[in-house]
Chains A and B, each alone.
Chain A
Amino acid sequence: DIQMTQSPSTLAASVGDRVTITCRASQSINQWLAWYQQKPGKAPKLLISDAFQLQSGVPSRFSGSGIGTEFTLTISSLQPDDFATYFCQQYNSYSRTFGPGTKLVVK
């Protein structure tokens, strides 16, 4: 199975900050990577698919990049609603795997 890692595991930031989360795959997954946002007690929400495709309705301050084994999620100017946990997921094969998550907290 393809293993996914994320860094950092926790990120403390302030409203207005630019933040970046990194996701790495144990082998190439081409561009088959998604980013999800999850708030406590809620289901995950798809933000970005295919490494950089922003989903409809997701604010443009979110962006994704990368290909192969290294990917990033960037929030250009953090808003109060963005404090949540972010997961990456590879779907290069039927055996999809998620990263362990990055919790974005208020500094």
Chain B
Amino acid sequence: EVQLLESGGGLVLPGGSLRLSCVASGFIFGDSAMSWVRQAPGKGLEWVSSISTSGTSTYHADSVKGRFTTSRDNSMNTLHLQMTSLRGEDTAVYYCTKLMGIRASGTIPHDFWGRGTLVTVSS
């Protein structure tokens, strides 16, 4: 059974930093591209980033480019999202998702999702 378990969310001041992690199990982590998707309270879904199987290719939404960094440790079956210069509009539940294949650049959907971790940016 595929499981994705996010951690690292919490309350952070505007301008602060936070690092999210996602531990994966139930599939060969190194064979799947991965992604982060967020959902602001009461709002829709927004793709945040994707990363290739090796971690050498990453893609980020314009709204987070230059502030967020996505990485992975295949030896630990773990995906990370390093968030800096956080803003109020970054407040959301952040979902770790598995992509249905190896191509982080597109043409594959998110086939499994974690339960999410809440990030609140507020003073």
Contacts and interface: CB of A to CB of B under 8 A. Distances in A.
A78 B61 CA distance: 36
A32 B114 CA distance: 22
B27 interface: no
Interface string A8-43: 000000000000000000000000101010000011
B109 A46 contact: yes
A1 B62 CA distance: 10
Nearest to B93: A43
A32 B111 contact: no
A63 to B, nearest CB: 16
B45 A94 contact: no
* Interface class of chain B by DSSP: loop
B8 to A, nearest CB: 17
Contacts, number: 63
Contacts of B45: 36, 44, 87, 89, 98, 101
For the side of the interface on B, what is the size category? Answer: 20 to 34
Interface in B88-123: 95, 100, 104-116
A89 B115 CA distance: 19
For the side of the interface on A, what is the size category? Answer: 20 to 34
Contact of A94 (B104, B109, B113): B104
Residue among A42, A98, A99 with most chain B CB within 10 A: A98
Given A43-B113, A45-B113, A46-B111, A95 B59 contact: yes
B15 to A, nearest CB: 26
B113 A44 contact: yes
Given A94-B59, A101-B44, A43 B114 contact: yes
Among all A-B residue pairs, the 10 with the closest Cβ atoms: A43-B113, A34-B109, A94-B59, A96-B47, A98-B45, A94-B105, A49-B109, A93-B106, A94-B106, A100-B44
27 contacts: A32-B106, A32-B107, A34-B110, A43-B95, A43-B113, A43-B114, A44-B110, A45-B113, A46-B111, A46-B112, A55-B111, A87-B44, A87-B45, A89-B47, A91-B107, A91-B108, A94-B50, A94-B59, A94-B104, A94-B105, A94-B106, A95-B61, A96-B47, A96-B106, A98-B44, A98-B45, A98-B46
